[in-house]
Amino acid sequence: MTSTIERVELRRIAMPLVSPFRTSFGSQTDRDILLVRIDLADASGSIVEGWGECVALSEPSYSPEYVDGAQHVIVHHLLPRLMAAGPIEAADVAPTLAKLHGHPMAKAALEMAVLDAQLRAAGQSFAAFLGAQRTLIPSGVSVGIHDSTDELLAAVQGYVDDGYVRIKLKIEPGSDIEQVAAVRDLIGPDTPFQVDANTAYRRTDGSHLARLDEFHLLLIEQPLPEDDIIGHARLAAEVETPICLDESLVSATGTADAIELGACEIANIKPGRVGGYLEAVRIHDLCVAKGIPVWCGGMLETGIGRAANAALAALPGFTLPGDISASTRFYARDIVTDPITITNGHVTVPATAGLGFDLDCDVLDSVTTSRISIDRRGTVTEL
Ligand code: NPQ
Ligand code: MG
């Protein structure tokens, strides 16, 4: 069933992180997030609201998108086209916007809001919509770069105590080998352990990265720049530890090519990076067909994105633990009434109608930094 977009609200929120999060591209203490609310009207005129979360960071440091740019392209390019398209459902969003190049995170946020509204109207959970059978998924944690190995080990021990079943360590050239060795020593040989370089290495670093093989890591995530597919293929031949792509994978067709070239032995799937949850499912299906293990990445989402990610990660091809940690890993207070928690190392897949969250309006209002409304004629009003 298709519905008409009646009104859109864009809301910016400022979420302080419980501790600074450092990656090879920089350190962050706050998360500036763009939320999208879309009011859909069905044929009888009854209105249901849906929410989406844009995962773009404040700077174009992880990918070319950034949150101010995402808001601009939504207001001035994406929404005018989407609203002109007439009655739609979630599956129509990406095709309707396909002639506008790039901006996957902005597009994904719109598709997500339509999907949430559509599922709420149908009384269906996202997991049921996807055909996901699992009710629990294993929870991994991403640990930032620390200058001091002692501080790093204290942080890792804290996450092990919290019950996380898999540790991911952010790395960059410098103390990488030494810190991986120290963490492996701390957690023992049987705890699943992987690293993420966020593009910090070069093609010539093959023999250096092969030194990680002795620590029996699950994978090395995105060691090289995002456009260096052949470099990753060469590295995959040179290093025993499987090479996993994150930043390089922006579509199903590109993922198929990377797999064929031998550059992608494992895939990190992030719905925002690939233009939405529906494209993420296509990448999942393709990887299952090719025998490539997948796992769900994370972008420090609020309870909105975290709920949707948990449902996606319940699909059968997600055979490795994802970066879907408890909300408290990053935020003291989430904007939803039922934040994602971890019990015995697992997250419960949401079962309520929609993407699987309900907003805590008081908390949401308390972190809101700006709000605009866009009506059917495209008129923008500051709220
Ligand atoms: C990754 N995420 O897999 C990303 C990178 C990322 C959980 O490791 C603020 C600061 C927000 C750094 C969002 C994880 C961020 C950030 C995502 C890094 O590569
Ligand atoms: Mg990554």
| Ligand 1 closest atom vs CA 170 | 8
Using the mean position of ligand 1's atoms as its centre, give its distance from the Cα of residue 228 in Å: 20
Q: Rounded CA gap, 124 and 134, in Å? A: 16
Cβ-proximal residues to 3 (8 Å cutoff; 6+ apart), any chain = 40, 41, 42, 48, 87, 88, 89, 117, 118, 121
The predicted pLDDT at position 106 comes to: 99
Among the listed residues 99, 107, 168, 270, the single catalytic one is 270
| Ligand 1 closest atom vs CA 55 | 13
CB 223 within 8 A of CB 199: yes
Using the mean position of ligand 1's atoms as its centre, give its distance from the Cα of residue 299 in Å: 5
Ligand sitting nearest the alpha carbon of 297: 1
Smallest CA separation from ligand 1 atom 8, residue: 142
Q: Is 170 noted as a catalytic residue in this protein?
A: yes
Structure tokens at 178: 């030494």
Cβ-proximal residues to 125 (8 Å cutoff; 6+ apart), any chain = 119, 311, 350, 351, 352, 353, 354, 356
- SS3 sequence of the chain: CCEEEEEEEEEEEEEEEEEEEEECCEEEEEEEEEEEEEEEECCCCCEEEEEEEECCCCCCCCCCCCHHHHHHHHHHHHHHHHHHCCCECHHHHHHHHCCCCCCHHHHHHHHHHHHHHHHHHHCCEHHHHHCCCCCEEEEEEEECCCCCHHHHHHHHHHHHHHCCCEEEEECCCCCHHHHHHHHHHHHCCCCCEEEECCCCCCHHHHHHHHHHHHHCCCCEECCCCCCCHHHHHHHHHHCCCCEEECCCCCCHHHHHHHHHCCCCCEEEECCCCCCCHHHHHHHHHHHHHHCCCEEECCCCCCHHHHHHHHHHCCCCCECCCECCCCHHHCCCCCCECCCCCCECCEEECCCCCECCCCECHHHHHHHEEEEEEEECCCCEEEC
What residue ranges line ligand 1, CB within 6 angstroms? 21, 23, 28, 31, 57, 62, 142, 196, 198, 246, 297-300, 323
Q: What's the Cα-to-Cα distance from 168 to each of 46, 183, 191, 192, 221, rounded to whole Å?
A: 45, 10, 11, 9, 9
Q: Is 168 noted as a catalytic residue in this protein?
A: no
Smallest CA separation from ligand 1 atom 15, residue: 299
Using the mean position of ligand 1's atoms as its centre, give its distance from the Cα of residue 252 in Å: 21
CB 278 within 8 A of CB 91: yes
Please work out, in degrees rounded to the nearest 5, the angle formed at the alpha carbon of residue 225 by the alpha carbons of 60 and 152: 80
Smallest CA separation from ligand 1 atom 4, residue: 299
Q: Rounded CA gap, 86 and 77, in Å? A: 16
The predicted pLDDT at position 42 comes to: 84
Q: Rounded CA gap, 191 and 82, in Å? A: 46
Mean pLDDT, 10 residues at a time, over the chain (383 residues)? 93 98 96 98 92 98 98 98 96 98 98 98 98 97 97 98 98 97 98 98 98 98 98 98 98 98 98 98 98 98 98 98 98 98 98 98 98 94 94
Instruction: Compute the half-sphere exposure of residue 275: CA atoms within 13 Å on the CB side of its CA.
Output: 24
Q: Rounded CA gap, 370 and 4, in Å? A: 25
316: number of Cβ within 10 Å: 11
Q: Rounded CA gap, 16 and 30, in Å? A: 4
Q: Rounded CA gap, 255 and 163, in Å? A: 32
| Ligand 1 closest atom vs CA 31 | 9
pTM above 0.85, yes or no: yes
| Ligand 1, pocket-test mutation among 27, 295, 299, most atoms within 8 A of CB | 299
| Ligand 1 closest atom vs CA 323 | 7
| Ligand 1 closest atom vs CA 57 | 11
Ligand sitting nearest the alpha carbon of 145: 1
Using the mean position of ligand 2's atoms as its centre, give its distance from the Cα of residue 222 in Å: 6
Q: Rounded CA gap, 331 and 17, in Å? A: 5
| Ligand 1, pocket-test mutation among 31, 300, 325, most atoms within 8 A of CB | 300
